[in-house]
Amino acid sequence: MTDPQPLPNRPSRRARRWLARGLVLLAVVILLYEVGRVVAGSNRHAVIPGKVYRAAQPSAAQVRDSIAKNGIRTVVNLRGLCDDVDWYRAEATATSGANVSQEDITLSANTLPPPAELRRLVEVLDRSEYPLLIHCRRGADRTGLVSTMVLLLYTDATMSEARRQLLPIYGHFRFGRTAAIDDFFDKYEEWLKHRSHTPELFRDWVLNRYCPGVARSQLAWIDPPTAAIPALRTHTLRVSAVNTSDTPWELKPGVFAGVHLAWAVYDADGETIQYERTGLRFETVPPGGKTAFVLPVRALKSGRYTVTAELHDATAAGIAFRTSSFVKLGDGSLVLELEVKDN
């Protein structure tokens, strides 16, 4: 008989408890570090190393640091043009001082992106000088949307690989209003059906087929003025709208309006003279149906003005239109140049 082999030394039960506690503490520290980096830090990552980077809102110093470290040539700001806000002025000063381009795109973290702004985004991505830096406020939701789009447009990444740009490690979570970001790519996958994603298919869908709500339409001015209108007199414009979606439009009054027309008058300097919403009434417009909207323009001084009108769907946005400007879910804007002269 051989002598029995001694049993290997095993950690005591107390030691195992301490080890488990230590591992839990380490996990908590790592989690807190990631949360702090995302919420309070720069949240900087490479989307395509050497070409595309993502981040939270950078300070002027962080813009200069990204330019120095990554050779950034274009900054894509997804928070829109905010020239009266400190963070925007600081960013614009930093990019201008470094001779770096800055492109301003207006997106929301809480609603599906408007088609016209997405088409402009694709044009910016196509024509910009690389490397580029993409950012919103936290670098989580809007930045995740555009980072995913970059991979789908310009690489051979699969849908699942591209959608990793929307993981919680970047600060994005698929619940609440920010789930609209994920819904955008769900719509694309639904459109694909049994086809496999390709950059060409995604580009075609974004540019020509995507419509986030039921506000897809064909808008036209009804008898627009062909000559100057008299100054200091009210004037009425009319817009016709054909429902080109496959869902009925539900027009209704109230703070949570359904489909309606938002319109504005701007002077020659781009200042807003009048901003209104019309169509806040009870009406159902079936697919292929047509309705009309009345735009009562206030008395204007002599000069040149621009009138824009676009269809909104506040119901689909899920938020009161009077508390948010991000409710546009239809097609592009209808534009009319208006000349006003003294009698």
pLDDT in tens, 90-125: 999 999 999 999 999 999 898 888 888 899 999 999
- 154 part of a folded domain: yes
Task: Name residue 222's beta-bridge partners.
Answer: 238
* Domains held by the chain: number: 2
CATH number at residue 275: 2.60.40.10
Per-residue buried b or exposed e for 61-85, using 16+ beta carbons within 10 Å of the residue's own CB: ebbbbbbeebebbbbbbbbbeeeee
Which one of 173, 192, 209 terminates a domain? 209
Query: Which domain does 243 fall in, by range?
Result: 217-341
| pLDDT on residue 326 | 46
Instruction: Look up residue 83 and give its DSSP letter.
Output: T
- 229 part of a folded domain: yes
Return the ∠ at Cα 9 (arms to 6 and 12), rounded to 5°: 135
3-state secondary structure of 148: helix
| pLDDT on residue 31 | 47
Residue with tokens 């849908």: 159
CB 167 within 8 A of CB 100: no
CB 148 within 8 A of CB 113: no
Which one of 209, 230, 256 terminates a domain? 209
- 6 part of a folded domain: no
| pLDDT on residue 306 | 96
Task: Mark whether 336 and 270 lie in a shared domain.
Answer: yes
The model's pTM: 0.67
Task: Mark whether 225 and 323 lie in a shared domain.
Answer: yes
Where does 74-141 have alpha helices with state H? 86-97, 115-127
- 66 part of a folded domain: yes
Task: Mark whether 86 and 202 lie in a shared domain.
Answer: yes
| pLDDT on residue 32 | 46
- 184 part of a folded domain: yes
Instruction: Look up residue 178 and give its DSSP letter.
Output: G
| pLDDT on residue 28 | 47
Q: Are strands 334-341 and 303-313 parallel, antiparallel or unpaired?
A: antiparallel
CB 43 within 8 A of CB 58: no
Task: Mark whether 90 and 202 lie in a shared domain.
Answer: yes
Task: Mark whether 223 and 245 lie in a shared domain.
Answer: yes
Structure confidence by residue, pLDDT tens digits, 163-207: 999 999 999 999 888 999 999 999 999 999 989 999 999 999 999
Tokens of 213: 């709500």
Q: Rounded to an integer, what distance in angstroms lies between the CA atom of residue 187 and that of residue 41?
A: 32
Count of Cβ atoms closer than 10 Å to residue 289 Cβ? 13
Task: Mark whether 253 and 277 lie in a shared domain.
Answer: yes
Residue type at 161 in one-letter notation = E
Task: Name residue 262's beta-bridge partners.
Answer: 277, 310
Tokens of 314: 């506040």
In 3D space, the residue among 147, 148, 171 whose CA is nearest the CA of residue 40 turns out to be 171
Task: Mark whether 61 and 182 lie in a shared domain.
Answer: yes
| pLDDT on residue 6 | 58
Regions of the chain where pLDDT drops below 50: 28-29, 31-33, 35, 37, 39, 325-327
Task: Mark whether 260 and 201 lie in a shared domain.
Answer: no
Task: Mark whether 175 and 275 lie in a shared domain.
Answer: no
Per-residue buried b or exposed e for 149-188, using 16+ beta carbons within 10 Å of the residue's own CB: bbbbbbeebebeebbebbeeebbbeeeeebebbbebbebb
Q: Rounded to an integer, what distance in angstroms lies between the CA atom of residue 108 and that of residue 114?
A: 9
| pLDDT on residue 184 | 95
- 39 part of a folded domain: no
Tokens of 99: 């001779």
Task: Name residue 310's beta-bridge partners.
Answer: 262
- 282 part of a folded domain: yes
Task: Mark whether 60 and 91 lie in a shared domain.
Answer: yes
- 8 part of a folded domain: no
Which one of 209, 239, 266 terminates a domain? 209
Q: Cα separations (Å) of 249 from 39, 111, 213, 322?
A: 39, 19, 10, 20
CATH number at residue 61: 3.90.190.10
Q: Rounded to an integer, what distance in angstroms lies between the CA atom of residue 184 and that of residue 170?
A: 18
Task: Mark whether 184 and 271 lie in a shared domain.
Answer: no
| pLDDT on residue 340 | 97
Q: Name 213's Cβ contacts closer than 8 Å, sequence gap at least 6.
A: 112, 313, 316, 317, 329, 330
| pLDDT on residue 299 | 96
Task: Mark whether 186 and 234 lie in a shared domain.
Answer: no
| pLDDT on residue 254 | 81
